[in-house]
Structures are given as C-alpha cells and as structure tokens.
Amino acid sequence: MIKDFQILIPQKPTLVVDITYLCNSACRYCRWGTNETPGRTSRSLGEILIPVETLTNLGTKRVVISGGEPRLHPELEQILHYFSKRVKEVIIITNAYGLDVNEVKKLLDWGVTGVTVSLDSIDPMESFLTRFTPPQLQKELLTNIETISKMPRDFEFGINSVVSHITGNWTTVRDLLKFGSGIGIDFIKFQPVFDDGFVAKNSPDLLLSKEDVQSLLEIAKKLDTIKHPLTNPSKFWEDLAAISEKRFLPPSSCGIGPWDSISIRGDLKMCFWVDTSSYGISSEPIGKSDLLNVQSGFDEKKQKCKVDFHCFCNQRINHIWMKE
C-alpha cells in the first residue's frame, strides 16, 4: 500500500480523458458494452492529447485515462507517454480483463503511476448479473488483482465499484472491502449506477429505488465495524438512500470546481452534465482568461442543478452533500 495514501483526499487539479468507447466487457449498465451502441470507436490523438498550454492553464496535476476500456486504444503507449511527461500522476481505469503483472509493468514503463480496477462484487453470481462476467473470468480477475497487489509497489492501486440494486447491500460491500483490506488495496471508491437512458431501457432491475433504502442505511450504520481501505464515508451511503427515495440534496454542496475537468468526445468541460461549463474544443489551446470566465460562473450555474445519481460520478471519494 502506498504510504500516506490519504494525500489523495485533498483536491488535486484532475483531468479525466475518455480515449475510446470500445470495450471487451458487457456490463449491463453501460452503453459501451454492446455492439448495438453507435460511436464505439477510439478517439483520435488530436482530441486526446490536450495542448500543453491548456494543461498548464488548468494547473492539471493528475490525468485519469478512461473509456470504454482504455487498454484497447491502439495508440495507448503514445497517449501515456505524452501525459506522463507533462503531469505528475497518470491513472488508468480498466476492467482488468487479462491484466497481469507483466502488463502492469508495461503500463508503468509507459508512464502510468496508478491503476484503478472496475470491480462491483467478489461474488461470481453478482458479477454475472451486473456485468455478464463469466465465473471463470471472475476467478481469474480476483487472482490477478491479488497478484498485482503483491508486486513491489510504488504505484497507486485502487478499485472503482458501481452500486446497483444487486450489489447495494451490506454483504456485498463488506466482502469487497474485506477483500481489498486483505490484499492492501489503496482505496475502494463506490459510485451509484445511474440512468443515462440506457439502463432504464435495457437493465431497469439494476437501478436503485425506495426498495434499497434500508439496505443502503444498513451499510452506513455498519461501515466502520470492519477494517477497510480508504473508502466513501457513511454519509455517502445515507446520501444514496436519500436520492433513492427521491429526497432533495442541495446542489450548492457539489464538490466539482475549477480543479476538475473532463475531455469527452472532443469537448473540454468542468462538468459533463452542465452544458455551459464547456471550456471549448479539446484539441485547441485554451487561454487562462477563457478558463477563468467559465470557472467564475460555475458556482451560480450549478445552483440550478437537480442532484441525482449521476452527480456522484466525479466527486472525490470523501465528498458528502451538506444539508442546507
């Protein structure tokens, strides 16, 4: 485990870059897991390699490489080398299918400083019901994650876990946290499944609802009864329960700010969901004054937001929604 991993909690200027929408996983809650979704292609280097001027003006210290499955991009090596020469931290988010020690070493040689694995449950049946992960592949995934965790390690190693109706219960959360604690994982960050139009149409049984409130509150109550890695606080689970029964959470306590940016489909933005938070085209240099103009008005713009499950996606792991 990285020493003093708690340093990741403070807000670091972070840029998330979607580099491909190809994926070799068939997660039931993700549109990129099916061939029927249009646009399942890799993005061009022109869209991905954010100009140095923009990175400098944003003050970016941490780049998160996302997708789809980023490891499928044919020019991944060039992408990682580019960002690793310009920022201190380069993190790749992966489904970890086929990821072993040798590939991790290759990613590190290319400039990666952290690997985040997507894993919703250690239970093979739940993994199949949420991600269509075959049981044998699930077994290999857990073995590979454990083996990677035993490497001489000065790189960040964490887990992202999507909370759904199937996995939003104390047994699943407890077992995943115990697994992470047992292998010395740096963090397990939970975020709720949300409906972008795909889930309600294809997998409505995964959505959180009033039926899940008591289970979510049980997690909040029992979270600190076990040893666990850095993870979301109990208040996070209470917030999920509140949203699940359609209670109001104030947008004024949204944690997104000028330290956050995302590059998606050629557009560089502060927040994916707020259209007026766009800085401009990702491939073109963006000046400091243009960035400041967008940032200065964001606090006012987010007051009009309705907080929902999608709002949890890019929040810091320790974020909580304050009461008004």
What percent of the chain stands above pLDDT 70? 96
Could you give the count of Cα atoms lying within 13 Å of 238 in the half-sphere of its Cβ?
A: 13
Exposure on the CB side of residue 20, measured as CA atoms within 13 A: 19
**Tokens at 87, concatenated:** 């920022």
pLDDT over threshold 50, residue 1: no
pLDDT at 322: 81
How, if at all, do strands 156-163 and 62-66 pair?
unpaired
Question: If you average pLDDT over residues 149-160, what whole number do you get?
Answer: 95
For the stretch 214-243, pLDDT in tens is: 999 999 999 999 999 999 999 999 999 999
The domain segmentation of the chain, as residue ranges, is 5-312
Region 185-212: what's the mean pLDDT?
96
- What integer is the mean pLDDT of 54-72? 96
Q: In what order do the strands lie in the sheet with 14-18?
A: 230-231, 187-192, 156-163, 114-118, 89-94, 62-66, 14-18, 260-264, 267-269, 278-281
With cut-offs at 50, 70 and 90, classify the pLDDT of residue 10: low
pLDDT at 283: 95
CB 186 within 8 A of CB 3: no
CA dist 175 and 110 (Å) reads 33
CATH number of 5-312: 3.20.20.70
Among 209-213, 299-303, 320-324, the range with the most confident prediction by mean pLDDT is: 209-213
Q: Contacts from 141-149 at CB under 8 Å and sequence distance 24+?
A: 141/96, 141/97, 142/179, 144/96, 144/99, 144/100, 145/96, 145/117, 145/119, 145/183, 146/183, 147/100, 147/101, 148/99, 148/100, 148/101, 148/104, 148/115, 149/183, 149/184, 149/185
